[in-house]
Amino acid sequence: MSKITMSTPLVEINGDEMTRIIWDYIKEHLILPYVDLKTEYYDLSLVKRDETDDQITVEAAEAIKKYRVGVKCATITPNAQRVQEYGLKRMYKSPNGTIRAILDGTVFRAPIIVSCIKPFVRPWVKPITIARHAYGDIYKCQEFRVPTNGKAEISFTAENGEKLFHETVFDFKTPGVLMATYNKDDSIISFARACFEYALSTNQDLWFSTKDTISKKYDHTFKDLFEEIFKKEYKAKFESAGLTYFYTLIDDAVARVMRSEGGFIWACKNYDGDVMSDMVASSFGSLAMMTSVLVSPDGNFEFEAAHGTVTRHYYKHRDGEKTSTNSMATLFAWTGALKKRGELDNNAALVEYANKMEQAALTTIESGYVTKDLASLAELDEIHILDTEGFIVKVKEIYDTMA
Ligand code: NAP
Ligand code: MG
């Protein structure tokens, strides 16, 4: 059988620990036998980042801008303990944060659904994808403990020195707390574009919610900018794709989401997205079954697993013990990237291969062949727990029997 060829490379970003081990198994068993893989390779292991003073991370992000599609392995975000463990020159920033800043991207998180794992929220039969605006608000705030009685004031001075406003926030007659947050129009607009692009790219409706009835300027600006970008740039495209953009108050959105069957993208402000993505993930079962895509407003895509490097399993693996680590999210990052590459290059064979590989992986689990994390979640008569590589080999076996 001849291998599927690729006309353009995708950006391959390798990482750390257990996910790096899984990375090689996936390539060896599930990709290289079928695809004449073309990648531009970046090694973002902590050792390599240290060697290059983290320049490699910047180069990887630039490469995604050039080739438009990347796939990334989980990477360690160093803390003090890691600096010691790896003897690092300094405590590098999160690679995901660096890449997201360069691509100006929004992260979309979606669960991988299998029929044998019933979501805790009964009506959810299709994935709910959360888009989180990962910029500003309380994550970039100035906050204070107010120790004593007194007046809290807020003012704004324009660049030319003109004082545009000066207001009392609260006249404290008791100790309390105080916080100032901000956001930027251009960041909100990028977020909106990334959401509309991703909705079109995945053929799903887009919901957006804020608390605009209470926050008549702050949240209302989000609502207005989304509406403006939608009308100007996306309304016609949504209509011809048969898709809907739907804005509603966050309370109403929560109530509707709980009763929905899923199958849409829910765009959230920073804090709402932080909270809601964990709620959605836990209802669908396991962090190991969550995928994540970074989408830039100009339509560049980086696929990855939502989980980290699974350190605890890696230490076992390093000590020669068997592990049973779930490779689904990392595999779906690869198939997602290959599928997107295929779509952009009009490479139908590559798209077909990626779809079939995803189907093989789902069938593997639905036939009762699972890693340990799913054993207690899957509702099946017979369950076989496989080790990390054994699961991937089983997926290949099933793929090879598919027409
Ligand atoms: P984690 O790697 O996601 O793992 C946390 C726990 O979740 C694991 O110990 C395991 O539970 C379970 N788990 C996660 N993925 C799994 C999988 N594929 N199969 C089976 N079980 C899985 O999070 P962490 O331990 O907090 O972080 C480890 C390292 O990852 C850190 O250095 C952090 O900086 C990095 N990280 C990277 C990214 C990224 O690159 N996107 C994201 C998050 C964290 P049990 O141990 O109970 O089996
Ligand atoms: Mg959270």
Number of domains in the chain: 3
Pick the residue whose CA is nearest to atom 6 on ligand 1.
310
- Is 126 in the same domain as 154? no
Across 137-147, b (16+ Cβ under 10 Å) vs e yields beeeeeeeeee
Q: How far apart are CA 223 and CA 231, in angstroms?
A: 12
Of 17, 132, 309, 372, the residue with max ligand 1 atoms within 8 A of its CB, to mutate for a pocket test, comes to 309
For ligand 1, the distance from its centroid to the CA atom of residue 72, given in whole angstroms, is 15
Domain boundary, last residue among 262, 284, 306: 284
For ligand 2, the distance from its centroid to the CA atom of residue 275, given in whole angstroms, is 5
The pairs formed by 334-337 with CB atoms below 8 angstroms and a separation of 24 or more are: 334/26, 334/30, 334/31, 334/71, 334/303, 336/71, 336/291, 336/293, 336/301, 336/303, 337/10, 337/69, 337/70, 337/71, 337/301, 337/302, 337/303
- Is 132 in the same domain as 254? yes
For ligand 1, the distance from its centroid to the CA atom of residue 290, given in whole angstroms, is 12
Ligand nearest to the CA of 332: 1
- Is 279 in the same domain as 305? no
Domain carrying residue 215: 118-141+181-284
- Is 345 in the same domain as 381? yes
- Cα distances from 232 to residues 70, 238, 296, 387, in angstroms, run 29, 12, 19, 51
Could you read off the pLDDT tens digit of each residue along the chain, which spans 403 residues? 789 999 999 999 999 999 999 999 999 999 999 999 999 999 999 999 999 999 999 999 999 999 999 999 999 999 999 999 999 999 999 999 899 889 888 999 999 999 999 888 999 999 999 999 988 899 889 999 999 999 999 999 999 999 999 999 999 999 999 999 999 999 999 999 999 999 999 999 999 999 999 999 999 999 999 999 999 999 999 999 999 999 999 999 999 999 999 999 999 999 999 889 888 988 887 889 999 999 988 889 999 999 999 999 999 999 999 999 999 999 999 999 999 999 999 999 999 999 999 999 999 999 999 999 999 899 999 999 999 999 999 999 999 999 7
Q: How far apart are CA 45 and CA 83, in angstroms?
A: 13
Domain boundary, last residue among 179, 195, 229: 179
Q: How far apart are CA 216 and CA 251, in angstroms?
A: 16
- Is 173 in the same domain as 187? no
**CB-based contact 229:186 (threshold 8 Å):** no
Domain containing 245 — which CATH number? Answer: 3.40.718.10
- Is 388 in the same domain as 342? yes
Q: Please state the pTM of the whole predicted model.
A: 0.90
- Is 52 in the same domain as 65? yes
158: CB partners within 8 A, 6+ apart: 164
For ligand 1, the distance from its centroid to the CA atom of residue 313, given in whole angstroms, is 9
Nearest to 324 by CA among 358, 399, 374: 374
Across 59-82, b (16+ Cβ under 10 Å) vs e yields ebbebbeebbbbbbbbbbbbeeeb
- Is 292 in the same domain as 341? yes
Domain boundary, last residue among 245, 265, 284: 284
- Is 124 in the same domain as 174? no
- Is 97 in the same domain as 220? no
Atom of ligand 1 nearest to the CA of 292: 41
- Is 28 in the same domain as 111? yes
As given in the structure block, the two tokens for residue 200 are 């079109």
- Is 303 in the same domain as 402? yes
Ligand nearest to the CA of 377: 1
